[in-house]
Amino acid sequence: MPKVKVALAGVGNCASAFVQGLLYYSKIEKEEDCVGLRNPILGGLAPKDIQVVAAFDIDNRKVGKDLSEAIFAEPNSAPKTVEAKPSGVKVEKSPLLDGLGKQTKNFVQVSNASDANIPAVLKAAKAEVLISLLPSGATKATEWYAEQALASQCAFVNTTPNFIASNESWARKFENAKLPLAGDDLVDQVGSTALHKTLLQLLSQNGARITETYQLDVGGGTESLDTLDRSRDAKRTIKTQSVESALPYKAEVVAGSTDYVDFLKNKRDSYFWISGTYFCNAPMQIDLKFSTVDAPNAGSVLFDVVKAVKLALNKKLGGPILPICAYAFKRPPQDASLVESNVNFEHFIKQNMQ
């Protein structure tokens, strides 16, 4: 029997990768064969212990369909890695709210079905963790789903850059409800921001002095389009602050999304430029390109988050779970270095397994 029951708000590319990942890794028996997972077993939980029991979306090509079919429906473009059998989970209609931007309206076919009673669906499915996989610019919709989590007594995971865990008011609501909260803005498993920060830390620790650096992302898919349309400034602020935190001194830093390229589909290209000096003020420059497929980048980290949140639920912990937030999100309530966040996360898991 599954040990963690999860609901998905949004059945886009990240949801597709998450569901396919559960199917893919649940078939692997040996931990050492789970290539691609940072923690195949975490807190005593494996991928086969996670079950998606409810899902919500607004697109007519997904609403009313079995989740196994909906994850491959357009406009999704995440790579198909498994053959998904019917799951028995029907995608329910979500309220539209601000779930569509000016540009994404051309790609999404809004369903005319009646909005589902979200708390009733979550309670009937016995969901424990509600994950917001909504578009970056859907601020009102993200907050609305946070309210549904509270009403349904679910833990809430906010993968978007909208401020929930890092907002004092929301943090207090979940703390008072004794429900775990994790966010904001999920990091990638092999993400450009983490790579950028690691390079800067390595150079700085070796005595180099960074004076200027940028990280520019170009991507395809509806998420990249929505980011440029509605949340470009917010994402740039979050990424820039995150990269700046890697240096113990002030430097000129810019990090964020710059353009949408249709034919890239679910791929993302990141460009890094680092300029500085080292011994006897000698100049140095680094110019790199880094390419990934976007949707699978969320899978491994999200698996860890779900497992860790389940431990927090078992211990009846409420409010933002700081070790989870710092480990897995770009904008946690309290920031920490990569080393410190990893150590604190491991300590949290060991402490709460007992």
Mean pLDDT of the chain: 94
Instruction: Give the pLDDT of residue 102.
Output: 80
Instruction: Give the pLDDT of residue 289.
Output: 96
Question: Measured between alpha carbons, how far is 62 from 327 in angstroms, rounded to an integer?
Answer: 32
pLDDT tens by residue, 151-203: 999 999 999 999 999 999 999 999 999 999 999 999 999 989 889 999 999 99
Closest by alpha carbon to 134, among 119, 149, 124?
149
Superfamily of domain 192-294: Dihydrodipicolinate Reductase; domain 2 (3.30.360.10)
pLDDT tens by residue, 232-258: 787 888 889 989 999 999 999 999 887
pLDDT tens by residue, 136-157: 889 999 999 999 999 999 999 9
Beta bridge partners of residue 186, listed in sequence order = 329
pLDDT tens by residue, 4-43: 999 999 999 999 999 999 999 999 988 899 999 999 999 9
Residue where the block lists tokens 């850059």: 161
Portion of the chain with pLDDT greater than 90, in percent: 82
Quote the distance between the C-alpha of residue 73 and its chain's center. 21
Domain residue extents for the chain: 4-187+297-353, 192-294
Helices 232-244, 192-205: inter-axial angle, 10-degree rounding? 30
Confidence label for 354 from pLDDT (cuts 50, 70 and 90) = low
104 CB contacts (<8 Å, ≥6 apart)?
A: 135, 222, 225, 226, 229
Helix (H) or strand (E) holding 180: strand 180-182
pLDDT tens by residue, 96-107: 999 888 878 888
User: Does 184 sit behind a cis peptide bond, omega within 30 degrees of 0 on the bond before it?
Assistant: yes
pLDDT above 80: residue 218: yes
Secondary structure of residue 230 in the 3-state scheme: helix
Q: So what CATH class is 4-187+297-353?
A: alpha beta
Question: pTM above 0.85?
Answer: yes
Closest by alpha carbon to 283, among 214, 210, 215?
210
Q: What value does the mean pLDDT take over residues 127-141?
A: 95
CB 149 within 8 A of CB 7: no
Q: What value does the mean pLDDT take over residues 265-284?
A: 96
CB 174 within 8 A of CB 156: yes
